[in-house]
Amino acid sequence: MKFSMLAVPGSAPGGFISGVDSKGEKAFSINDYKGKFLVIVFYHGDWECQEYLQAFSDLQSKFSSVKAEVVGCSTDSTKVHQCWIKTDREDGGFSGRLNLALWSDPAGSLASQYD
């Protein structure tokens, strides 16, 4: 596993990325997180990392208490993300309860900016 980190203070690449959160599908911007630390968890794909993302989701309130937000990012589409979130937990999903946004980076262009 490879870790990449920006120097603090640093700035993340700009632009918009499609994703889903508890309200549904939307376009996200780094500017949505201005004034907060942003933790982007890049992972291989939905249904492969449920335990890790569930742990981040469960800890979201702790991250928020230190002005940080966690988002997940994979090459899966927003439709796949929505399906995964709605899938029962015993089948590898989140039973509709995920406390973080999932971004869709099908071409890996955002991920490559942190290589």
Place of tokens 């889903």: 20
**Known catalytic residue: 49?**
yes
**Angstrom distance (rounded) from CA 26 to CA 28:** 6
**Angstrom distance (rounded) from CA 96 to CA 89:** 9
Catalytic hit among 12, 30, 38, 49: 49
Q: Are 71 and 19 in contact (CB under 8 A)?
A: yes
Kindly list the catalytic residues: 49
